[in-house]
Structure 1
Amino acid sequence: MAKHSKYQDQQVNHIVSDIIAVLEKHQAPVDLSLIVLGNTVSNLLIGSVGKNQRVALAQAFSDALLNSVKDSK
């Protein structure tokens, strides 16, 4: 999703692969997968980000997601 990151591609790709493997293990269809991922993002924001920063970070995440979907053809 992000074009520039402080994390190595290998680390990101490994975690993404693990998450996809779990979704496949549960044979989660796309809509259920999106619900699970959305709930995960919400839980991370609520549990790890200060109340004053949540909306701004959620907006930045949303913008990055939209841009990544628009850019992929």
Structure 2
Amino acid sequence: MPIVSKYSTEQIENLVNQLLDTLHANHATTELSLMCLGNAVSHVVNSSVPLAQRQTVAGHFSQALTDAVNSKSN
């Protein structure tokens, strides 16, 4: 069964494009881009997820990232 998001594809694509545009405008390398995005993810989790749930959320995020990267290589 496919996962249904409460966010539209357009909402997601617009935000992703804005993030990527900012990284490109600053000539961020892959390493710097990943560092900045990782820091942003950490900030979002630490500022909006209850302490007791952070490890679970981080694990799910990590698995989703791994799945996304693996699906692109097939």
- TM-score between the two structures when normalised by the length of structure 2: 0.92
Name stretches of at least 5 consecutive residues in structure 2 with no aligned partner. Answer: none
Name stretches of at least 5 consecutive residues in structure 1 with no aligned partner. Answer: none
Residue by residue over 1:3-59, the C-alpha shift from the partner in whole angstroms, topping out at 9 and shown as x without a partner, is: 531100000000000000000010000000000000000000000100000000000
Higher relative contact order (CA 8 A, sep 6+): 1
Letter of the 2:38 counterpart: G
Percent identity between the aligned chains?
A: 35
- Structure whose residues are more often helix by fraction: 2
Cα distance in 2 for partners of 1:62, 1:5 equals 18
Runs of at least 4 residues off by over 6 Å: none
Q: Which residue of 2 aligns with 1:59?
A: 59
Count of equivalent residues: 71
Indicate the SS of the match to 2:46.
helix
Cα distance in 1 for partners of 2:44, 2:6 equals 19
Indicate the SS of the match to 1:53.
helix
- TM-score between the two structures when normalised by the length of structure 1: 0.93
RMSD over equivalenced CA pairs, Å = 0.9
